[in-house]
Amino acid sequence: MDRLSSMAVFIEAADRGSFAAAGNALQMSAQMVGKHILFLEERLGTSLLNRTTRRQSLTEAGRVYYQHSKKLLEDAEQADSLIDAMHAEPSGLLRINAPVTFGASRMTALITRYLQQYPKVQVELTLNDRYVDLIEDGYEAVIRLGELDDSSLIARQLQPYQCLICATPGYLAEHGTPRIPQDLRQHECLGFTHWARPNSGGQWEFVHQGRTEQVSVGGRLKISDSKAMLEAALQGFGILLAAEVLVQEALSQGRLVALLPDYPLPARPMHIVFRPDRHLSPKLRSFVDYVVAELGLHPESNSAAAISR
């Protein structure tokens, strides 16, 4: 006999209190129920049930075997369900959140390609730079920048988020090219409005020979949108600190020039974050796998990790 099948019969007999009741539930005879129980007892070399003419009860060994058999069958059922889910066609609505610049520069194109591959999925992409609560705000997945704290969520590591500083050839011809970070104090440096304190500039951080260096920069123009900052830089108004994904086209065209190559800005960790549901939906599983395939690091760097909400 099949051991898992016999375990299922044994659990049914223990739950229902008699071979006859178990047989009715399983659509087999009471005699066949008895054969399954006997098969297990002979295999184990011990009795699992105390039987009398009026009632039956679990032996001490039977109680232990019942508990572990039930857990084993639940795990087997879960394994079957997971495989079924993997083969199910992804469908339904996915609500995704991402930072504004990265979302507009990389995620939008990635999502359109994903939707072409999975025609039964719909995606609602929200772009903002505030810290969102994945569960309370109702997102299935979030692209998150920066270090992660421990919690009950799951993260897959993506390529680090790299920023650069750059300016137009015309600006550099008129104002000179900075050679070290301290030279930036003499330049117009474009910044986000939320960086600035009243009457002061921002702090730009660089790495040189393993050490970090912060420089206070200032400028007359601060903007709340990265694409608007890029446009100001392209007009030759000042030096821009921006995500590489935002400026890479202008750099390749020669419209911008990357500065201070010996003083890179620290890269920020980036992850895709989602809930650790035991039965991950096909739509979410396929989306996470797609993002990691396009934006992830090497496979060994993409193990799941507990992170902050």
Nearest to 90 by CA among 127, 125, 116, 126: 116
| Tokens linked to 87 | 């083969």
| Tokens linked to 149 | 């704290």
Q: For residue 156, is pLDDT > 90?
A: yes
Place of tokens 């934006």: 295
Of all residues in the chain, what percent carry a pLDDT higher than 90? Answer: 58
Residue 280: the pLDDT is 77
Which residues neighbour 225 within 8 Å (Cβ) at sequence distance 6 or greater? 100
* DSSP assignment string, 243-285: EHHHHHHHHHTTSSEE--TTSPPPPEEEEEEE---SS--HHHH
Residue 152: the pLDDT is 74
- pLDDT, mean of residues 215-228: 89
Residue 53: the pLDDT is 61
| Tokens linked to 52 | 């009398």
Residue 258: the pLDDT is 96
Question: String of b and e for 238-277 (b: at least 16 CB within 10 Å)?
Answer: bbbbbbbbbbbebeeeeebeebbeebebeeeebbbbbeee
Residue 309: the pLDDT is 41
Q: For residue 238, is pLDDT > 90?
A: yes
66-83-296-288 Cα dihedral, nearest 10 degrees: -100
Residue 127: the pLDDT is 93
* Higher-pLDDT residue of 222, 308: 222
Residue 199: the pLDDT is 37
Tell me the pLDDT tens digit for each residue of 58-96: 999 999 999 999 999 888 887 776 676 666 789 999 999
Integer CA distances (angstroms), 147 to 139, 184, 269, 271, in order: 20, 28, 6, 9
Secondary structure (3-state) at 99:
coil
- pLDDT, mean of residues 189-197: 64
- pLDDT, mean of residues 41-59: 86
| Tokens linked to 262 | 């010996």
Q: For residue 200, is pLDDT > 50?
A: no
Do 169 and 176 meet the contact criterion of CB atoms below 8 Å apart?
Answer: no
Do 263 and 207 meet the contact criterion of CB atoms below 8 Å apart?
Answer: yes
Residue 201: the pLDDT is 46
Question: String of b and e for 171-191 (b: at least 16 CB within 10 Å)?
Answer: bbeeeeebeebeebeebbbbb
Q: For residue 298, is pLDDT > 50?
A: yes
Secondary structure (3-state) at 168:
coil
Cα–Cα distance for residue pair 249/173, rounded to 1 Å: 21
Q: Which amino acid would we find at residue 259?
A: L
Task: Quote the pTM value.
Answer: 0.62
The helix (run of H) or strand (run of E) holding residue 127 is strand 121-127
Tell me the pLDDT tens digit for each residue of 109-127: 999 999 999 999 999 999 9
